[in-house]
């Protein structure tokens, strides 16, 4: 049977083309990316690879990964972002009056260590200078006592002025400055707390935002209502392009544009702030604070991420919560768990922690790498993951009120926001382990599968946290310049769910097939897939190909062949793959292009192996070159060096270096290269949910 004209699949798959709209045919690349020092590297396809070398590399890597497991059964690598986390921590402590000299010294040392030669700070390794990050880092260092006439401070201030000064920084940076009078609240977009009353059927209600934005915006409405100003410890005139006109007015955009419409709405809201109906304002602030407190997690954080936590603490403090109040004490103590102390005395903060994600990926990697399915470390990891299952109804239930709870979040504690991606990967991990209480594992998997199926969006795909969170209006608001604020379905999350459904025997389920159809329709013209939560097209393609093949799409299908050609074309001359974060901003130049990294090379290999390339299928020099690159670049302790950021919070705006990615994904790729199909102790699929066992 063939694909129908609108891209849907008939009951059987074959190799005929699938309709992809009116996009042009796949575009072949113009040649492999050339690293700077290719003279010392062997071209892909000319590797002298022995299976024994790959097995030795895999053994070293699995031994190292096993050594990193906690006594409780979980794995967690550091989650590195950028120095705004550290700068804002000092500013928060200054605002609350709890900043210590030791915290300041250690944090300032870290911030200085991340400054580049040109005096700026970026948001990812090797990336361009970033204005807001540089402003916040500069202010934090000045707070720590750095002389503004010191060379590193002069260089930073010079860049800030050349990039437009504080006035050109993002809204969130200017909010931090407004807390100390360095920027006027009147020159910031208004965020009225009355938004908490908007019903769900109205645009721009709080549930129209992605969960991370929702958790940040609600406390910011309280802060905006108060407009607090603490005494500024120093001036920042050197960061203005014109100190005599530090707060320049910008002309309004045309009224017939979205920008113009919302700018005029913002002016009206500023007028309302001055004349707000006080009983309604007090009621809105009180309701917002209740909403905040109800969503504080057991570890004191909010959503397991930094922005909601810092703004929630400020909002509640402004509403009279003393620092000794249990809510405030728990919130502040949560930052201690997010703090990383380096061996040389520096201090930096994780924006989030990823133990569930790291543990399920590590479990998959170890089984696929050949570790016995009943190994005690794997049984221990399953026990821990079972204990992390979320049986509480969170904000997701606003859209799915009748759906039973069941799923997993990303962090140690985050019962309000389980996510679809973690749930899919946890189920894939649980299936691979031979656990002594299989009935308990099966019941948890059934709940996870049922919850994921219930979280399918109406277009057939899956977002990360919510259903049908696809409105385009929130991104157009003046204060939403800090990154993506909605959670539409993405190829990588959808692929992980499809792969999970296929492995649990549900390839023929109509909901699985709708997910497959969405993936085929959303393939890029060049054959790749966009990666929402990992960088970028290599991650998307590395996620989708294994899912499609697992779900029964034959590896000779045109969509898969286009993807294989794209990956082959993007392979670096050294045999690896890499993609720079700039592919989000400039895909024409950077898609699939960048210095080779261990995680991205592994993603490409996982995709090619799933597509039938390599020792168990078609002989392919690209596969051999990629494996040889992993073998050759492995460090003696068994891991890989990867300073590049290959994870994504907000595409382009917020980048992540998951320190465990450089280990778990190469193990998975090497294991599948050597052992064949992904490891699973059951190959016939599980019974349908609710069926007798």
Strand 339-341 to 347-349 pairing: antiparallel
556: Cβ–Cβ under 8 A, 6 or more apart, which residues? Answer: 15, 612
* The pLDDT of residue 26: 29
Measure the CA–CA gap between 337 and 330, rounded to whole angstroms: 11
* 123: nearest Cα among 107, 106, 136: 136
pLDDT single digits (tens) 61-111? 999 999 999 999 999 999 999 999 999 999 999 999 999 999 999 999 999
Burial (CB count within 10 angstroms: exposed 0-12, middle 13-18, buried 19+), residue 224:
buried
How many other C-beta atoms lie within 10 A of the C-beta of residue 227?
14
End-to-end CA distance of the chain: 33
Distance of CA 280 to the CA centre of its chain: 37
DSSP H stretches of helix in 388-536: 420-432, 438-454, 491-503, 510-521
Q: Do 681 and 613 meet the contact criterion of CB atoms below 8 Å apart?
A: no
**For the chain, how many residues are written?**
693
Q: Do 404 and 450 meet the contact criterion of CB atoms below 8 Å apart?
A: yes
Name the CA dihedral angle for 420, 425, 426, 431, rounded to a multiple of 10 degrees: 130
pTM of the model: 0.90
* The pLDDT of residue 679: 63
Integer angstrom CA distances of residue 41 from 48, 473, 614 = 13, 49, 22
| Helix, strand or coil, per DSSP, at residue 222 | helix
Q: Do 385 and 359 meet the contact criterion of CB atoms below 8 Å apart?
A: yes
Strand positions, DSSP E, 42-106: 79-80
* The pLDDT of residue 658: 97
Q: Transcribe 503-562 into DSSP letters.
A: HTT-TTSHHHHHHHHHHHHT--TTS----SSBSSHHHHHHHHHHHHHHTT--TTSHHHHH
Measure the CA–CA gap between 593 and 596, rounded to whole angstroms: 9
* 539: nearest Cα among 487, 591, 612, 489: 591
Q: Do 591 and 580 meet the contact criterion of CB atoms below 8 Å apart?
A: no
Measure the CA–CA gap between 193 and 191, rounded to whole angstroms: 7
Q: What are phi and psi of 437, to 5 degrees?
A: -110, 70
Strand 79-80 to 347-349 pairing: unpaired
- Which residues of the chain are modeled with pLDDT < 70? 1-48, 679-693
* The pLDDT of residue 664: 98
Which tokens belong to 197?
């009353």
Residues tagged active-site: 421
**Block residue for tokens 């898969």:** 560
* 428: nearest Cα among 496, 375, 371, 494: 496
* The pLDDT of residue 252: 84
What domains are defined for the chain?
Answer: 44-78+353-473+482-675 (1.50.10.20), 82-349 (1.50.10.20)
């Amino acid at each position: 049977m063939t694909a129908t004209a609108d891209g849907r699949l008939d009951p059987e798959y074959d190799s005929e083309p699938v309709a992809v709209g009116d996009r042009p045919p796949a575009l072949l690349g113009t040649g492999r990316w050339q690293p700077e020092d290719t003279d010392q590297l062997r071209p892909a396809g000319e590797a002298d690879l022995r299976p024994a070398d790959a097995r030795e590399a895999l053994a070293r890597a699995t031994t190292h990964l096993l050594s990193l497991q906690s006594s409780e059964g979980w794995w967690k690598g550091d989650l590195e972002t950028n120095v705004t986390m550290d700068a804002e921590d000092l500013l928060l402590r200054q605002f609350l009056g709890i900043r210590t000299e030791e915290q300041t010294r250690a944090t300032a040392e870290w911030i200085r260590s991340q400054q580049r030669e040109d005096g700026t700070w970026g948001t990812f390794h090797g990336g361009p200078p970033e204005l807001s990050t540089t402003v916040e880092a500069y202010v934090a260092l000045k707070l720590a006592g750095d002389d503004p006439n010191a060379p590193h401070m002069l260089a930073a201030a010079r860049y800030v002025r050349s990039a437009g000064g504080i006035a050109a920084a993002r809204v969130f940076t200017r909010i931090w400055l407004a807390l100390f009078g360095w920027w006027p609240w009147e020159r910031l977009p208004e965020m009225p707390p009355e938004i908490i009353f908007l019903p769900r059927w109205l645009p721009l209600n709080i549930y129209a935002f992605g969960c991370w934005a929702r958790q940040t915006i609600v406390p910011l409405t309280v802060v905006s209502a108060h407009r607090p100003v603490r005494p500024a410890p120093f001036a920042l005139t050197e960061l203005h392009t014109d100190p005599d006109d530090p707060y320049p007015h910008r002309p309004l955009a045309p009224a017939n544009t979205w920008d113009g419409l919302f700018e005029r709405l913002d002016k009206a809201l500023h007028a309302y702030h001055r004349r707000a109906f006080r009983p309604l304002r007090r009621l809105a602030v009180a309701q917002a604070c209740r909403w905040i407190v109800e969503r504080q997690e057991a570890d004191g954080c909010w959503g397991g991420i930094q922005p909601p936590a810092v703004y929630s603490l400020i909002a509640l403090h402004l509403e009279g919560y003393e620092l000794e109040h249990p809510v405030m004490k728990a919130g502040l103590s949560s930052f201690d768990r997010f703090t990383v102390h380096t061996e040389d005395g520096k201090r930096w903060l994780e924006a989030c922690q990823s133990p569930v994600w790291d543990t399920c990926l590590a479990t998959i990697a170890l089984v696929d790498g050949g570790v016995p399915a009943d190994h005690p470390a794997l049984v221990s990891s399953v026990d821990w993951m079972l204990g992390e299952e979320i049986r509480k109804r969170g904000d997701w239930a606003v859209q799915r009120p009748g759906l039973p709870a069941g799923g997993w979040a990303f962090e140690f504690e985050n019962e309000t926001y389980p996510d679809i991606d973690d749930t899919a990967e946890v189920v894939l991990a649980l299936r691979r382990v031979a656990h002594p209480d299989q009935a308990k594992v099966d019941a948890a998997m059934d709940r996870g599968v049922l919850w994921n199926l219930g979280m399918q969006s109406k277009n057939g795909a899956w977002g990360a946290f919510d259903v049908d969170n696809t409105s385009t209006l929130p991104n157009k608001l003046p204060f939403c310049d800090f990154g993506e604020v909605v959670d539409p379905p993405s190829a990588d999350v959808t692929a992980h769910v499809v792969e999970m459904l296929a492995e649990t025997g549900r390839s023929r389920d109509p909901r699985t097939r709708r997910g497959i159809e969405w993936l085929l329709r959303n393939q890029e013209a060049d054959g790749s897939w966009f990666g929402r939560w990992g960088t970028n097209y290599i991650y998307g393609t590395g996620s989708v190909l294994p899912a499609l093949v697992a779900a029964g799409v034959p590896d000779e299908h045109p969509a898969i062949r286009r993807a294989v050609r794209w990956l082959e074309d993007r392979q670096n001359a050294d045999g690896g793959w890499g993609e720079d974060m700039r592919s989000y901003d400039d895909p024409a130049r950077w898609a699939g292009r960048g210095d080779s990294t261990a995680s991205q090379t592994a993603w490409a290999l996982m995709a090619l192996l799933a597509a039938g390339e390599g020792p168990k299928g078609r002989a392919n020099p690209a596969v051999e070159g990629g494996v040889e690159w992993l073998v050759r670049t492995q460090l003696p302790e068994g891991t890989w060096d990867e300073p590049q950021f290959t994870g994504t919070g907000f595409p382009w705006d917020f980048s992540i270096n998951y320190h465990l990615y450089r280990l778990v994904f190469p193990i998975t790729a090497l294991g599948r290269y050597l052992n064949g199909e992904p490891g699973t102790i059951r190959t016939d699929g599980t019974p349908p949910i609710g069926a007798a066992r």
